[in-house]
Amino acid sequence: MQEATFGTAVKTSIKTKGVIMDLIAKIDKEEVKELFSKNWLTHDAIWYGTCVQEMGQEKANEINKVAARTMATMEMGRILKLMGMPKDPSVQTFDELKEIVDTAMSAVKAKFMIFDYGFPEKNVLRGKYNRCFAFDGLSRFNLTEKYECGIIERIKGWLDHLKVSYEVVPDFKGCLMASEGKCEIDFRFDLA
């Protein structure tokens, strides 16, 4: 088995019999979502690992969190556009927020992303990971001890774009999977 390192590629050769396949026409929407999600997260992991090698994990965490949060604000604008909503809405009610979050989650959550989220009470969004794809990936490279969660930054970016004030409970730095063995986070709001 080849040792996992960043920046290493294994070359393979396949024969296509001269036929160019239109994959998008042959696969369903869920398979497209899986493909693009896995590709994006593979890039993300390789990028993060390369940053750790080049500048250390502290700086890599800082850059990763800014990148994830900034990308998420743009992602939410695109999701809102697809929903037929203004790109920069002013969310006023918890029901509006729930509809947008549910729609966004259905658009971005791939099958391999094993987590639950819900709204256990008014003005609470709860995310629960008993297993985390980011933590699992980082574990392969022994990078979990000092990792600072980028996934939470994605949700923060969505909420920032929606101009929704929130409190994160627990307020933490790092990775709850590494420190607690599980990850359960509440976003608390004060919406009508």
> Which pLDDT does position 65 carry in this prediction?
97
Q: Whole-number mean pLDDT of the chain?
A: 90
Q: Give the start-to-end residue ranges of the domains of the chain.
A: 26-188
CA 145 to chain centre: 19
Single out the residue of 57, 34, 41, 42 nearest to residue 8, CA to CA: 42
The band of 87, judged by pLDDT with boundaries at 50, 70 and 90, is: confident
Read off the pTM: 0.85
The band of 1, judged by pLDDT with boundaries at 50, 70 and 90, is: very low
Q: What is the percentage of the chain residues whose pLDDT exceeds 90? A: 74
* Residue whose entry in the numeric block shows the structure tokens 């398979």: 31
CB contact set of 79 (below 8 Å; sequence gap of 6+): 100, 103, 104, 107
The band of 19, judged by pLDDT with boundaries at 50, 70 and 90, is: low
* Phi, psi angles (nearest 5°) of residue 62: -60, -50
Of residues 45 and 63, which shows the higher confidence score? 63
Query: Strand order of the sheet with strand 124-129?
Result: 116-118, 124-129, 183-188, 167-169
Q: What is the pLDDT of residues 124-172, one digit of tens each?
A: 999 999 889 899 989 988 999 999 999 999 999 999 999 999 999 999 9
Of residues 4 and 75, which shows the higher confidence score? 75
Residue ranges of E strands in 89-192 = 116-118, 124-129, 167-169, 183-188
Q: For 26-188, give the CATH class.
A: alpha beta
